[in-house]
Structure 1
Amino acid sequence: MDLFVGLDVSVNTTSICIMDDAGKLVKEAKVESEPSSISELLGKVDGHYRRVGLEAGPLSQWLLSGLAAAGFPVTCVETRHMKAALSAQINKTDRNDARGIAQMMRVGLFRPVHVKTERSQEIRLLLTARKFLQAKMIDAENNLRGLLRNFGMKVGTVTRAQFENRVMELLEARPHFVLAVTPLLEVRRVLRAQYQILHKAMQRLAADDPVCRQLMTAPGVGPLIALTFRTGVDEAARFRRSRSVPAHFGLTPARYQSGEIDRGRGISKCGDASVRWALVEAAGAIMRRNTRSSPLRVWGMAVAKRRGSLRALVAVARRLAIILHRMWSDNTEYCWQAQTA
């Protein structure tokens, strides 16, 4: 008897629905969100498991690895696609969601998603922690600027290294403010020190990774852009065609068409937002900085003259994604000289 399983995962518990190939319920239960607990329950049911499905989420990578190691044919499905399929239910409960996922696995109406390797997850952890500290450091600086501006004390344009000295200069006129401002400066000092540790670790990681070294030969691509693109793509073989990469990260136009209505909606903005941000940042560096000329920059400037700078920026980001994936797939560096086809 072939069996199909739907897992509705939450932080503490997971609702499980086991269904046979005729759509008959075999077993329903709720266990702890642990690979061992789920594997133990599935092992008590006799039958051949064809598909085990769970939605993509914070615990999906961990649960998928554990269930796969236990020998179950587990698949991670796209959240938006499964949400649309389950939206027809009148009552939304964990039990009904597990039933719906099992039904989708039985009839094959699901869209699998790629689960990133553990190496890419580790790199993403470093990048996320660095971004968090950077954001909090900027928040601390802006908070200090706002508090002092209320009393006419303007910090002005200074570097991060000069920021603290500039604030202390302003406090000389109002020494009684030191009690309130000094703790904020101390918090900023700690955040900056820890941010620099993670920033240097990121640079070392990119320098030691052969794929990132290869990607950094392209214009506008530094350690942060290279690592972000590497973790977003994860494996170059995921995409059969390099032209599919921009669409995967939401850089291609979206369209709404119904009857006589047919209009564009800008880029789709689907997929990993951090990769999309990285590609646009790299495109901005290519277009705006007065650096070494490249065929990509020449092409982008020509697009800007015809369509405007904003559209040219997205177009360059889209083409850069194609180039980076092709470099990775072919194991080649960026060609700075235009070549005839």
Structure 2
Amino acid sequence: MKLFVGLDVSSFDIKVCLLNGEGEKLRSFTVPNDLPGATELRDAILECVDDQEIHTLKIGLESTSVYSFHPSMFLHNDEALRALGTEVLVMNPKQISNFKKSYSDMDKTDEIDAFVIADYLRFGRLPMSVVKESQYVALQQLTRSRYQLIHQVTKEKQHFLQHLSFKCNTFKEEVDSSVFGNAMMELFFEKFSLEELAHMPLEDLAAFLQEKGKNRFGDPESIAKSIQKAVRSSYRLDKVVEDSIDIILGTTIEVIRTLQKQVKEIDKAIERIMAGLTQTLITIPGIGPVFTAGIIAEIGQIERFDDETKIAKYAGLYWRKHQSGRFTADDTSLSRNGNQYLRYYLVEAANSVRRHVPEYQAYYAKKYKEVPKHQHKRALVLTARKLVRLVDALLRNHQVYTPKRSVNE
């Protein structure tokens, strides 16, 4: 017997449709989207296949963020369903939407959507993604949260620089030191006025920087001189305006430090999970633990993908073909579909790897010279596409990175 179960999931319920191998509807019903409802769904599936010889049992649902997460993991991890060789598949809603267009006489209802998902499973010709094991799901939650925190830090730093220009408009041009180093942050956190900084004894300002910078400045006096030069050449603000800017700078510094502290906590949790996973990507020069964790989290178990082309498509690292008759377009755009997080980590990793591995450096340079525009972006994405082959080979074959001829890509 072949059984295909389509689930249309919302925040409060799950519409269910069961089809056999011939496309006949065996049953349709609705259960709540909670633990008792999922248990009822599981029991209904087991009842349907009771005393039957099962050849295929597939359960499919669209990827709808948190709504689909719990039912998919419950059904995937259920021992009774696993004993029947059940596959739980999470699918791209756009694929289901396109597939549904072939049913031109159907209305838009949740019950019909569940039928379409089950029928899509029955045809099974389009790519689908099996749910991940728990450790990859946990890692993904952490790496995605880290991704969001880093973007928040970047946004807050831009906010800080904008208001720093109000307080001291020549600071960034005159001072050859990171604004976001601990010493500089402490300098603005103390809310010194420009007049106070301008008239502070040079040795006192240098000592302040050296203390707050934990003696990491090679020449604190030179930095102190450049700060006072910037302060003396900057416009002056009314005191009421300068006080408001000082408050904004101080609160922004606190936000940045809080976010950075949270990133460190997440990094520790990521490190603990990565220690329990067998992977060899960290052996690639330049890839580092952050990019490794991000790539592993989004790919999950490598067996989810037939080959490296499926990984590239999942990440959106492919170009659509534009062909009509004998005409084939040379300039086509990168797909906007795919997993944005995996694409981000692969592209950023490729940018780092090309600086450490001569083969990737040469490949990037070759692709850079091939076109007159969008050179860096195009070359970097193509380098990321090349990196996918290496990632697939190392994970699938459990290899460590060695020079080109030693790795079977």
Asked if these proteins are the same fold (TM beyond 0.5), I'd say yes
Counterpart for residue 231 of structure 1: 297
Counterpart for residue 91 of structure 1: 107
**CA offset at residue 199 of structure 1?**
3.0
Is the Cα–Cα contact under 8 Å of residues 249 and 269 in structure 1 kept in the other structure? no
Counterpart for residue 194 of structure 1: 262
Q: 2:148, 2:361 → 1: CA distance?
A: 32
Q: 2:291, 2:95 → 1: CA distance?
A: 29
Is the Cα–Cα contact under 8 Å of residues 88 and 130 in structure 2 kept in the other structure? no
**CA offset at residue 10 of structure 1?**
0.8
User: Which aligned pairs between 1:1-341 and structure 2 lie closer than 5 A?
Assistant: 4-19=4-19, 27-40=27-40, 43=43, 47-48=48-49, 50-58=57-65, 59-68=67-76, 69=78, 70-71=80-81, 73=86, 75-79=88-92, 80-87=94-101, 88=104, 91-106=107-122, 111-150=127-166, 153=169, 156=172, 157-168=178-189, 171-173=192-194, 174=239, 176-177=243-244, 178-203=246-271, 205-206=273-274, 208=275, 211-212=278-279, 214-242=280-308, 244-259=310-325, 262-263=328-329, 264-287=331-354, 289=355, 291=356, 294-307=358-371, 308-336=375-403
Deviates more, 1:227-236 or 1:11-20: 11-20
Is the Cα–Cα contact under 8 Å of residues 242 and 325 in structure 1 kept in the other structure? yes
TM-score normalised by length of structure 2? 0.69
Offset from partner CA, 1:273-328 (integer Å, 9 cap, x none)? 222222221222234x4x5x533323433443445544432232222221122122
Q: 2:155, 2:259 → 1: CA distance?
A: 11
Larger strand proportion of the pair: 1
**CA offset at residue 55 of structure 1?**
1.8
Q: 1:110, 1:258 → 2: CA distance?
A: 23
Q: Mark the CA change 1:147 to 1:8 in structure 2 (over 3 Å): closer, same or farther.
A: same
- Structure 1: gaps (5+ residues): none
Deviates more, 1:7-16 or 1:133-142: 133-142
The secondary structure found in structure 2 opposite 1:15 is strand
Q: 1:302, 1:107 → 2: CA distance?
A: 42
Larger radius of gyration: 2
Is the Cα–Cα contact under 8 Å of residues 36 and 66 in structure 1 kept in the other structure? no
**CA offset at residue 121 of structure 1?**
0.8
Q: 2:391, 2:300 → 1: CA distance?
A: 13
The secondary structure found in structure 2 opposite 1:253 is coil
- Structure 2: gaps (5+ residues): 173-177, 195-238
Matched positions, count? 336
Offset from partner CA, 1:197-223 (integer Å, 9 cap, x none)? 2234445654x35644x2122122110
Offset from partner CA, 1:113-146 (integer Å, 9 cap, x none)? 2211111111111112222222222222222332
Q: 2:27, 2:310 → 1: CA distance?
A: 41
Q: 1:200, 1:146 → 2: CA distance?
A: 32
Offset from partner CA, 1:154-205 (integer Å, 9 cap, x none)? 6635234345224346651356324454333333332222222223444565
**CA offset at residue 247 of structure 1?**
3.7
Q: 2:310, 2:41 → 1: CA distance?
A: 40
Q: 1:195, 1:27 → 2: CA distance?
A: 48
Q: 2:313, 2:164 → 1: CA distance?
A: 46
The secondary structure found in structure 2 opposite 1:16 is strand
Is the Cα–Cα contact under 8 Å of residues 155 and 166 in structure 1 kept in the other structure? no
Q: Which letter does structure 2 place at the counterpart of 1:112? A: M
Offset from partner CA, 1:231-258 (integer Å, 9 cap, x none)? 2222233444445533442223321224
Deviates more, 1:217-226 or 1:246-255: 246-255
Percent of counterpart pairs with the same letter? 23
**CA offset at residue 41 of structure 1?**
5.0
RMSD: 3.5
Q: Mark the CA change 1:328 to 1:29 in structure 2 (over 3 Å): closer, same or farther.
A: closer
TM-score normalised by length of structure 1? 0.81
